[in-house]
Structure 1
């Protein structure tokens, strides 16, 4: 449901995403993951599928990034054990930890609980307040938003952000540059209506960054 200011509320109906998965998953499907540079997961598919994929990736040394979006049930420990980077927004972080996330200090406290759950790296999307990357034992890196000329539709902005961060990360960019690259991609995303059509091409992201 799109609001006048471009913000959105999302109702998820699992449908095909939550069904039609072979049981068990075919071995050749999981073997494909060994050739990946990174595996991005989210919770709009069954947890058992995510667990199998994450285990296969982990076994091959492929980093696993889990976007918390999707079902609201607790994340299974067997999945958390395979996650290299957890990527919630502030609302999902609050739900996951049972802690408030209104201020940055509260967000940092909730991230500590994620560390206690076994995830050493947490990428938090903060909407209009930007983003932050937390690594256990290190100072967090904060990234403000890159303002959009006009916010049309925020649907898909979080997914765009996480995917762009992953691209920059596997290309060996420093974490701060990864955050900035992701912020640029998200800025372009919110200026176009729709979840898939709004995801920008790399050239557009690079041109935006060069213009700053």
Structure 2
């Protein structure tokens, strides 16, 4: 069984169902409203656990009802939550998701306790990181904490996966050099490289630029089309998505990351197969509304 550690965010998602995204200054009615557990870190940790990995989560929550709800969710999925700590000042993170009739979304984030994760929190979890097969992080927690975690991982030959979301420019070079696999979507790839990703040629150009930054493997997810990969030796390819009717794309990328990590061999010789399996899991996620409730279990992901 793979040992995976996820460093990341916990949010309570408020999902607002609308016909289309509003124009500037426009007032619109909602069709529906719902609340569910979310946060990129929590989603990816749950995906890894449901994929069959032994998963530990490093995160921070507030001292509120939302935190109790999330902790119960983590326990139900069998996550190790020894390093999910409470911040007395900030509330649990919140996300407000605008979801249109075609399943596309725009998301607004209140960081809350997620922004209170410190390097001390990471050092306290050093044993869990050093014993893992893979460490995953995203940008909904502070970069100094991510960098510290990746340093510990690399000192112990632990694979590091960075999901650079939300999109961020000027990522510290130190962090990029500690990253084995970077997995942006098209928007995030453009933010990192300045290259607009619209076709295979631009994907290759963006990947090459990320390789120059010190990253061995670049994966670019492109929604309903699938996922692109590029290796430092300039070999590359595309793994097609599974064609389904998308109801809600929330957590699709997080499902991909969690399932990918759960499948990867240490020498990465099964990268394409792991990506295909992760694509399949994501295709199930988009067929149901919500984030964590839509993430499938391993026995549901069949070819």
Q: How many residues align?
A: 205
- Report SS of the residue matched to 2:235: coil
Match of 1:153 in 2: 248
Tell me, yes or no, if structure 1 residue 142 matches structure 2 residue 215. Answer: no
TM-superposition CA deviations, 1:118-139 (whole Å, max 9, x none): 1121011011221111101242
Query: Contact (CA 8 Å) 1:44, 1:71: kept in 2 or not?
Result: no
- Report SS of the residue matched to 1:11: strand
Q: Residue 23 of structure 1: CA displacement?
A: 5.4
- Report SS of the residue matched to 2:101: coil
Provide the rounded CA distance (Å) in 2 between the counterparts of 1:192 and 1:26. Answer: 34
Query: Contact (CA 8 Å) 1:156, 1:196: kept in 2 or not?
Result: yes
Question: Structure 1: 5+ residue runs without aligned partners?
Answer: none
2:111 pairs with one of 5, 14, 20: 14
Query: Contact (CA 8 Å) 2:167, 2:188: kept in 1 or not?
Result: no
Give the alignment's TM-score, normalised by structure 2: 0.65
Give the alignment's TM-score, normalised by structure 1: 0.91
The residue correspondences of 1:81-92 to structure 2 (distance < 5 A) are 81-92=177-188
- Report SS of the residue matched to 1:187: helix
Match of 1:163 in 2: 258
Q: Residue 25 of structure 1: CA displacement?
A: 3.1
* RMSD after superposition: 1.6
Q: Residue 32 of structure 1: CA displacement?
A: 1.3
- Report SS of the residue matched to 2:255: helix
* Higher helix fraction (1 or 2): 1
Provide the rounded CA distance (Å) in 2 between the counterparts of 1:127 and 1:23. Answer: 33
Q: Residue 22 of structure 1: CA displacement?
A: 4.5
Provide the rounded CA distance (Å) in 2 between the counterparts of 1:162 and 1:169. Answer: 11
1:122 pairs with one of 215, 218, 223: 218
Q: Which has the higher contact order (CA 8 A, sep 6+)?
A: 2
